[in-house]
Amino acid sequence: MDYKVEVAKQLSMKIDFLSVEEIEAILETPKDRELGDYAFPCFRLAKTLRKAPPMIAQDLLKDFIVEAPIAKVDAVGGYLNFTLDKTGVVKSVLEAIIEKGARYGSKDLGQGKNVVIDYSAPNIAKPFHVGHLRSTVIGNSLYKIYRFEGYNSIGINHLGDWGKQFGMLIAAYKHWGDDKALEDEPLKALLDLYVRIHAELDEHPEYEDEGRAWFKSLEDGDKEAERLWKWFVDLSLVEFNRIYDILGVSFDHFTGESFYNDKMEAVVAEIKEKNLLVESDGAYVVELGEDEPPCIILKRDGATIYATRDITAALYRKKNYDFEKCIYITDYAQDLHFKQWFKVIKLMGYEWADDLMHESFGRVSTEQGKLQTRKGNVILLDDLLNQSIGKVQSIIDERNPDLENKEDVAKAVGIGAVIFHDLSNNKNRDIVFNWDRMLSFEGETGPYVQYTHARACSVIRKSGVNDYADQIDYSLLLDPASLDVIQELAEFPDVVEQAMVRNEPSLITRKIILVAQRFNKFYHDCPILVEDQALKGSRLALVLAVKTVLATGLDLLGIKAPEKM
């Protein structure tokens, strides 16, 4: 049962000028649980009703017909407070979790509709660094959240495998390329070439023209340019897939920018046919209005640009996937880029342009400044993951050396720590990378949640009870510690929905931290494996519910939930 909705429905009988949805949006959760489970602030109605909020609260209280799940209604100051029938709440929450298991929390909002999620999208020939982590783990989590909510998620890795940078790389290879170095350490060798040619531009500005010419040759189908480009792509993908395997991230399609190379001509022709293409200083652009810079479609040399490829990709995706939403996960530096080409789609007459969503996120920088591949100022993701796994391995060797499958557990916890740290931040926040913070396992961290899950699993194993659904006495779970846990579990479905609506996985990290904290207090205050079988069975049911929700929450973040730690 959605208790907030039920309270809103009953309150709507007394407030006929607000809808159930409007009342639900106004309802609050009191910080002091003694005041009730939900509160309606009457200040919102003072202007409309021309009365003081306390008087409005008293008027609403008069003749209020209390029906389940509400047990009591009180007027306190300018608030109308609602207290739920606690036994009924405990019963419905635990029964729902036991019945639905890993599906608890899903409202099946998608009903099989398609949602395309474009995430990760690293540039070929550049190593995977911590700056790539954000798009990868945010996108992977949203992919899982939408699928959990009943959508058909379609994950696309729009690889940066086209553009002038490949012309620059081919030019650098022609000057200084070492085939053996490329075969031995491909991404390091490619990065060295990329950094070197940019470092030498001051003394050799002609290298810029060489790079531009090589890319034009690549677009025109030059065999040598194509051979080198494909080689660089293949070398890079081997390394990328190794990192994705470590992170547990996968995609339905690896259709990078190059995939649309033979499709762009028709799209440019369509833009021209619709009288949108305008010449500007030798380039061709779409004018977006007086207050906005134009969107470049073709550069002066006739080469395409990012926007051309993104417009082509969007048209292709709508035709082939008929998406309800198409979500792009990149940092906020690309806000203008997406705003521009989204508007081009709209000007082309496609109403589904409104279904294109750019979910930007904050950038990662170091204490020395922003990450810049061309200057070699990067923190390699490989190094971070290996250090995190190594730290967990050392802790296990010290505290629990006989742990089964300790290498697998170290990997799950080490990688989980890195992912959770990233997703625990609101996605719009900038992150200043700090080794100690990233590798901290104390406090509100992924390892803390994973350990709490393992603790719940341990209690269940030690209980020796296989089926206790018939042994639950819900009235035995009305103590403050138990009710605090139940409240967090009851809110989990709404949090998952909001994480999807707002495309914000951090809402789930915060919720499962609260579940873990409340459970650990319950574990401390309420002995579970007691002689009283009714009490034991009831508390074990709560332990099972916590285990289920923590495992689901971690999975939605792309993190494993070990049963032993």
Asked whether residue 24 falls in the same domain as residue 126, the answer is no
State the average pLDDT over residues 421-425.
91
Asked whether residue 446 falls in the same domain as residue 498, the answer is yes
Contact 528, 540 (CB under 8 A): yes
Asked whether residue 225 falls in the same domain as residue 339, the answer is yes
State the catalytic residue, choosing from 14, 47, 113, 129: 129
**Domain edge (last residue) among 351, 375, 399:** 375
Residue 294 lies in a domain: no
Give me the domain span that covers residue 219: 114-262+304-375
State the catalytic residue, choosing from 4, 132, 391, 453: 132
Contact 446, 416 (CB under 8 A): yes
pLDDT in tens, 463-508: 987 766 667 899 999 999 999 999 999 999 999 999 999 999 999 9
Q: Percent of the chain scored above 70 by pLDDT?
A: 96
Residue 101 lies in a domain: no
Asked whether residue 356 falls in the same domain as residue 388, the answer is no
State the catalytic residue, choosing from 4, 86, 126, 536: 126
Q: What is the CATH number of the domain that holds 450?
A: 1.10.730.10
Q: What share of the chain is helix, strand, coil (3-state, %, to 5)?
A: 60, 10, 30
pLDDT category at 125 given cuts 50, 70, 90 is confident
492 class by beta-carbon count within 10 Å (0-12 exposed, 13-18 middle, 19+ buried): buried
Asked whether residue 57 falls in the same domain as residue 23, the answer is yes
Cβ-based neighbours of 26, under 8 Å, separated by 6 or more: 18, 40, 41, 44
pLDDT category at 374 given cuts 50, 70, 90 is very low
Cβ-based neighbours of 514, under 8 Å, separated by 6 or more: 488
**Domain edge (last residue) among 41, 69, 84:** 84
CA angle 65, 67, 70 (to 5 degrees): 110
Number of domains into which the chain is organized: 3
Tell me, what's the pLDDT at 369?
54
Residue 361 lies in a domain: yes
Predicted structure pTM score? 0.90
pLDDT in tens, 283-297: 999 999 888 999 999
pLDDT in tens, 61-97: 998 999 989 999 999 999 999 999 999 999 999 999 9
pLDDT over 90 at 188, yes or no: no
Asked whether residue 467 falls in the same domain as residue 348, the answer is no
Asked whether residue 395 falls in the same domain as residue 512, the answer is yes
Q: What is the CATH number of the domain that holds 227?
A: 3.40.50.620
Residue 242 lies in a domain: yes
pLDDT over 60 at 166, yes or no: yes
Tell me, yes or no, if 524 is annotated catalytic. Answer: no
Asked whether residue 151 falls in the same domain as residue 74, the answer is no
Asked whether residue 76 falls in the same domain as residue 146, the answer is no
pLDDT category at 220 given cuts 50, 70, 90 is confident
Residue 462 lies in a domain: yes
Distance (Å) of CA 29 to CA 67, 491, 548: 20, 11, 25
Tell me, what's the pLDDT at 250?
94
Asked whether residue 345 falls in the same domain as residue 393, the answer is no
Q: Which candidate, 25, 30, 26, 24, places its Cα nearest to that of 9?
A: 24
Tally of residues, the chain: 565
Asked whether residue 428 falls in the same domain as residue 504, the answer is yes
Tell me, yes or no, if 126 is annotated catalytic. Answer: yes
Q: Where are the extended beta strands (E) located within 78-146?
A: 79-84, 114-118
CB atoms within 10 A of CB 174: 13
**Domain edge (last residue) among 358, 375, 392:** 375
Residue 359 lies in a domain: yes
Residue 334 lies in a domain: yes
Tell me, yes or no, if 411 is annotated catalytic. Answer: no
Q: What is the CATH number of the domain that holds 46?
A: 3.30.1360.70
Asked whether residue 358 falls in the same domain as residue 392, the answer is no
